[in-house]
Amino acid sequence: MIYKPRMESIELLILKALDSRICLSSKVKQLYFNLKKGYEGEILFDSLTEQLQCECLILNDLLLKQNNTLFQIDSLIIMSDTIYLFEVKNYEGNYYYESDKLYKIPKSEINNPLIQLIRSESLLRQFLHSLGITIPIHSSIVYINPEFTLYQTPLDKPFILPTQVNSFLKKLNKSSTKLNEKHNRMADKLILHHIQDPPFNQLPSYKYEEMHKGITCVNCTSITVSNMGKICICHKCGFEEAVEAAVMRSVEEYKLLFPEKKVTTNIIHEWCKVVKSKKRIRRILSENFKIMGVRQWTYYE
């Protein structure tokens, strides 16, 4: 049972919006690509764990603090006598393992996720201990991408390779685990301590004036969306969306990028650009938000 669902991080959402509307430097583009790829891998793993029929509590994406040190957990499955901790990696291509180091072929060393896993497990154990909880932790790195190959994989490392994910989960599913109130309390405590707004990596600075105005496509994120009657159509992928939904999405995007600015009819009319009728924008805003202020000072919350 999914006890805590995964959401796209604010950082990823901001980068997605920026990527459609400004020209990102290659460094920021790489950051966006890595975050997006990681998130896709986690979602793929979630789609498998959510099929578990055994009694368990699944907590996806936890950010906790122990001894003033932040640590992030991709996936945690609480079963009766063990907590399973998963670090999910969406690496693609050919890699090899040598002297406790991980290399992408031909020869570029990348961070060994095992170090991160050992650190997370240790911090989680201390964290649980501080709450008076003692339970064995079983940690693994899940390589989720079907196009990932790891040569020279040592047998004694806690790696779950793409061809092993299903059998690992099948085995979990077969265990006769019974949960009680104690497990729910443990899950609640973890969620209570989850840090909602983590510090961001380096986001670029941006200004409203330099952004492409228009509506981004919900399917392919391109900004080549036009409005015809009650429908918005993407010229890149052909995706169609009701104009109200598209405008509301754009408002959320605007609020995400400019949380300090007020939402007004004029600004959203300019922001969405392709919806020519200001009256329509005003109607959508007034139907979906609380109207604050009067006349030319009206804004929406």
Residues that bind Zn ion (CB under 5 A): 217, 219-220, 222, 234, 236-237, 239
Place of tokens 């990823």: 12
Cα–Cα separations (whole angstroms), residue 218 to 191, 204, 264: 30, 23, 23
For every residue of 80-101, DSSP letters joined together read: SS-EEEEEEE---EEEEEETTE
CB of 214 to Zn ion, least distance (A): 12
Q: By C-beta, is 23 or 237 nearer to Zn ion?
A: 237
CB of 13 to Zn ion, least distance (A): 17
Q: By C-beta, is 182 or 236 nearer to Zn ion?
A: 236
Amino acid in the structure at residue 296: Q
Return the DSSP state at 190.
H
Q: By C-beta, is 237 or 291 nearer to Zn ion?
A: 237
Q: By C-beta, is 135 or 233 nearer to Zn ion?
A: 233
C-beta separation of 86 from 45 below 8 A: yes
CB of 223 to Zn ion, least distance (A): 9
C-beta separation of 64 from 83 below 8 A: no
Q: By C-beta, is 219 or 226 nearer to Zn ion?
A: 219
C-beta separation of 85 from 121 below 8 A: yes
CA-wise closest residue to 142 among 118, 164, 171: 164
CB of 90 to Zn ion, least distance (A): 23
Alpha carbons 203 and 140: distance in angstroms, whole number: 31
CB of 233 to Zn ion, least distance (A): 9
CB of 235 to Zn ion, least distance (A): 8
Structure tokens at 70: 């932040």
Q: By C-beta, is 13 or 218 nearer to Zn ion?
A: 218
